[in-house]
Every structure is written in C-alpha cells, then in structure tokens.
Amino acid sequence: MKCVVGIDLGSTTTKAVLLDEQGGILGRGITNSRSNYEVASAVAWTEAVTSARFDLLERAMPSTSGSWAKPMKDAFRLELFIDELAELRATILRNLERSLTVHGDRKALATTVGEVLDRVRRKAEPLFVGGAPRRSEFFRDIAGALYVAEAEEISRAGGAPFEQLAALYDRAILEVETRAQRRDVGGLLRRALDRVLPADRAENATARAAAAQAIATAAAQTIEEIAVVGTGYGRQTLPFARESVRSEILCHGRGAHRVFPGTRTVLDIGGQDTKAIQVDDHGVVTSFQMNDRCAAGCGRYLGYIADELNLGLHELGPLALQATKSVKVCSTCTVFAGAELRERLALGQKREDILAGLHRAIMLRAMSLLARSGGVQNEFTFTGGVCNNGMAVKVLRELVNENYDPTTTLNIHPDSIYMGALGAALFGLDDARAGRLAPMPPFLRAVASEVSA
C-alpha cells in the first residue's frame, strides 16, 4: 500500500502520521524528542508503521468481527506495552550489572526490580483491556506512574530504597524510548488474538479462522512511503530535502481543520511555542501569531511546575481542577512562577488553588496571542500537548466566554497532539498527487529497511 508520512519534530515530543492515498489515517506514532531528533523521528515513524499494520488488519477483518475488533485493538496495545516493559526490564538489569555506583547486593536489587515490574505488568492490564481510565498514551507515563507507586510500596515494606529503584528507572526509560524497535507485529497480533479469542475454546474456532485470514492479508500488504514531509521545531536540523519541509504553523492549521472542518481559529500550545492561527474554509492559514523571545506559558512551563511539585505532568490538570479558588499568579516567567509557587506554598496556600492560578496565567498569555492574530472565531480548535490538561481547557473556555462569543464551539480532539504531523502528511499527499514524490530521507530509510525486514 502506498502512503505518505508526516513527521512533526516538536521540542518535547516527535509525532508521525501515515496516510493512505485517499487521505485516510493509517497509523500514528509518538515519542519523546529529547535532544536527538534523528532518533526521535525514526522511533515515531516506526511506531506509526506498527500501528498502520494494525489498521490494515482492522480493514482486512470481516464485518462480522464487530464484537471482537475493539477488544482486539486493546489487547494489541496491551501486548505492545508488555513488549516495551520487557525491554525496560532488560535495560534496567543490564544497567544494574554494569553500574559503578550501585554497591551492595545487586542480586537482591535485581530481584526487587523484577518484583516491581511484575506488579506493573499486572496493574497495567486493566488499563488496556479492563476499561479503566488511562490518562496517557505514553509508555513513559503509564509505566512511570505504576513503577513509582509500586516501588514506593515495596520500599516502605522494607525493600530496596526508593531513590535507588527510581534512579534505575529514570536511566533506563531514556534509553528505551530513544531506541527504534523492530516489533514483531505478527507475534503481537497472535498474542492479542489468543487473549481475545482463546484457542482452547471450540466456539472461537470460526472467528479465529477469520482473524487468522485477516492477519495474513494484513501481513502480506507492503507499506510504501511515496512522500515524506517534516515539520516542527526540529525540522531544520534534520536532513530532509528542502522541499519536504513545511512550517508547523501551516501544518497545525491544516491538521486541525481536517479533523474539525468548521475550524476557523486554532490555538496550539506545544512544548515551547504557543501559536494562534486563523484559517479559512480550506484550512489555509490566513494569519498567525506566536510567542516571541520567551516561552513561558508553554508546555515546558507546566513541566517545570510539575517537577517543582514532584508530580507527573499529566497529574497537574486533575489536581488544579480540585481548586476551590484561583490564587492570582502575577508572573508567567517560568522561573519566577516556580519561586512564586514555593512562596505561596510556604504561606500555606493550597497546591490546587495555586495551580489553578498558574493555569489561568498561561491561558491569559494565549489569549493575548489570539487577540493579536485576529481573535477567536467559531469554531475554535485547541491543539498541542497542553490541550490534554483539563484545567487548561476549563480556563480557556471561561476566557473565551468572557472575551468572545460564548456560543463559540471549542473543539478538542483526544489525538490533537498529532495535528501537526497530520497537516504535514496532508501536504505530503498534495505533493504526491502533484507528482512530487519525496523519498524517505536516508536516515529514516535505514530504519525502514530494518523494520520491514
């Protein structure tokens, strides 16, 4: 199958989207950018190919498979998580063996880590197949939150010191998430199938045969990338062909408009950029404004605040939503805001109330950019990593109501972090249709041949 690829190299995360020739979304992948965009784009792209394989499977499944298609998808993701967890375990144990700083009984420590990871695996299961709420799609977030909780418990019960366990995780997760993995998609699918339709039950025989046929059909499909477009902060540093690079402002505007065709205004808050974009009825950008000189108020600001409070980034919003009042935070300079946070905590103010104020401070900055770009028009689509934060959304809604038409539709898509990559892929599709085929850049091709082997 021919497809086009959009890769969005954000300052925090790198995203990849694969589209088929009709413009349908085939696969998506995401990873942390860290400082190595080359690896990050290879990882995100590899993930997108893996998820595309699953999508191909879904397309190959008979219509009668409705009852098990969804569980199959969940099981596939769980199997993928288990695969990644195994990789994490191997990495921790390898690091532990080579570590110069760990003294004492390494064997006992290895056993404890094993115990923590076993528990993580057990606890993760209901998050994927049990319908329990999963706050993040990131392996890092899900595994990290579970690991910390389990390590704390084991440590409290007299196991290894928590700091030691946490340090092992911190080092290994960086390695795991920046390593492009060749996934045995066929194996993952078979394991998922066994989970959903166990082979030892006779009544599953027909469905299993149909699924096996679908898996074979999907596996036989080749994925051929005919055009690649790169966007995002890191696009200039990567060896993409010049004509294969597009501005992220255009890509975000276009991606948002594709998902919500009524969109006229887009607010994108990413790691270090806030962009206010106006688009026309074709999704073409007509005006934009972005932050200048200072990135306070962007995603990294929230990351810094989360670190100050010793919380995960995804925990900030839910905590702030518990606020009973909003403490006024004057500064949106990240460093000053951190100082103000500590000062207010010392004065006895509640974390959630201070956080509510911080969220408002961020959104006031965004409102200024929106005003400068031409205001908020209906419909208004909020994208970027920060739109996963419930408090940020709540405050934005309030501010839109105060300053613009309160009946304005506010769109937020659960996958809005992919909007830039989606827009890039759409530009890739334009290129492909106009006969401008852009081959995969060599650094990605190297990974591609490995993965499709």
Partner 1 sequence: MSEHTESKDRSQLRQKRMIADHFERLSRAKEEGKKVVYTFVPGNLTELIGAFDMLPVLPEINALQSGMRKKSAGYIAEAEKSGHSEDVCTYVKCDIGMLRSGNIGPTGTKLPEPDLLLLSYTGCFTFMKWFELLKQEYKCPVVMLHVPYQPDGVITDEMRSYVVEQLRTEVIPAMERVTGTRVDVDKLAAHLSLSKQAEDDLVAVWESARHRPSPIDGYFGGVYYVGPIFSSFRGSHDAVMYYRELREEVEARVARKEGPMAPDGPVKEKYRLVVEGPPNWTNFNEFWQMFSREGAVVVSSTYTRVGGLYDQGFRHDPSHPLDTLADYCLGCYTNLGLPSRVDLLAKYIREYEADGFLVNSVKSCNSFSVGQLLMLRKLEEKTGVPGGFIESDLVDPRYFGKANIENRVQSYLQMLEARKARGTSADAVVSP
Judged by CB under 8 A, the stretch of 19-27, 47-55, 134-142, 336-344 that binds partner 1 is 19-27
CB of 344 to partner 1, least distance (A): 28
**Strand 2-9 with 224-231, pairing:** parallel
Which tokens sit at 350? 């509640």
Which residue, 168 or 285, is less far from partner 1 as judged by CB?
Answer: 285
Binding test (CB under 8 A) with partner 1, winner from 285, 305, 323, 356? 285
Q: Of 290 and 321, which CB lies nearer to partner 1 in the complex structure?
A: 290
Dist CA 211 CA 196 (whole Å)? 11
Give the span between the Cα atoms of 176 and 236, in whole angstroms: 25
When the beta carbons of 20 and 340 are compared against partner 1, the nearer one is 20
Q: Which residue in the set 316, 356, 396, 426 belongs to the binding site for partner 1 (CB under 8 A)?
A: 426
In the bound complex, what is the minimum distance in angstroms from residue 402's beta carbon to partner 1? Answer: 21
Give dist(CA 9, CA 14) in Å, integer.
Answer: 5
List binders of partner 1 among 200-239 (CB under 8 A).
233, 236
CA geometry: angle 31, 35, 36, nearest 5 deg = 70
Angle ∠(389,390,394) on CA atoms, nearest 5: 125
Query: Which x/- pattern, by CB under 8 A, does the window 93-122 give for partner 1?
Result: ------------------------------
Chosen residue from 82, 129, 149, 290 binding partner 1 by CB under 8 A: 290
User: 167 vs 295, which CB is nearer to partner 1?
Assistant: 295
Q: Is 380 in the site for partner 1 (CB under 8 A)?
A: no
How close are the terminal C-alpha atoms of the chain, in Å? 16
Binding window for partner 1 (CB under 8 A); candidates: 56-64, 176-184, 282-290, 315-323: 282-290
The single residue listed with the structure tokens 């996963």 is 388
Which of 38, 79, 150, 248 contacts partner 1 by CB under 8 A? 248
Q: Which of 324, 328, 327, 332 has its CA nearest to residue 305?
A: 332
Q: What is the spatial distance between Cα 10 and Cα 328, in angstroms, rounded to a whole number?
A: 30
Binding mask 20-39 for partner 1 (x = CB under 8 A): --xxx---------------
Residue 243 binds partner 1 (CB under 8 A): no
Under the binding rule (CB under 8 A), the answer on residue 429 touching partner 1 is yes
| List of E strands, 92-150 | none
Enter the tokens of residue 379: 């419909």
Could you tell me how far CA 374 lies from the centroid of its own chain? 30
Q: What is the DSSP letter of 245?
A: B
Q: Which is nearer to partner 1, 297 or 317 (CB)?
A: 297
Question: Contact region for partner 1 (CB under 8 A) — 92-100, 101-109, 181-189, 427-435?
Answer: 427-435
User: What does the CA dihedral 27, 32, 35, 39 come to, rounded to 10 degrees?
Assistant: -40
Nearest approach, Cβ of 173 to partner 1 (angstroms)?
Answer: 28
Q: Which range of residues in 96-104, 175-183, 250-258, 389-397 is near partner 1 by CB under 8 A?
A: 250-258
Size of residue set near partner 1 by CB under 8 A: 34
**What tokens were used for 49?**
């190919």
User: Residue from 103, 107, 156, 282 that binds partner 1 (CB under 8 A)?
Assistant: 282
Angle of the 299-308 helix axis to the 334-346 helix axis, nearest 10: 30
Q: Is residue 244 close enough to count as binding partner 1 by CB under 8 A? A: no
Residue 35 neighbours by CB distance under 10 Å: 9
* Shortest distance, position 23 Cβ to partner 1, whole Å: 4
Contact 429, 358 (CB under 8 A): no
CA distance readout (Å), 413 to 280, 297, 358, 371, 386? 20, 21, 23, 23, 12
Which residues lie near partner 1 (CB under 8 A)? 22-24, 233, 236, 246-250, 254, 257-259, 261, 280, 282-290, 292-293, 372, 374, 426-427, 429-430, 433
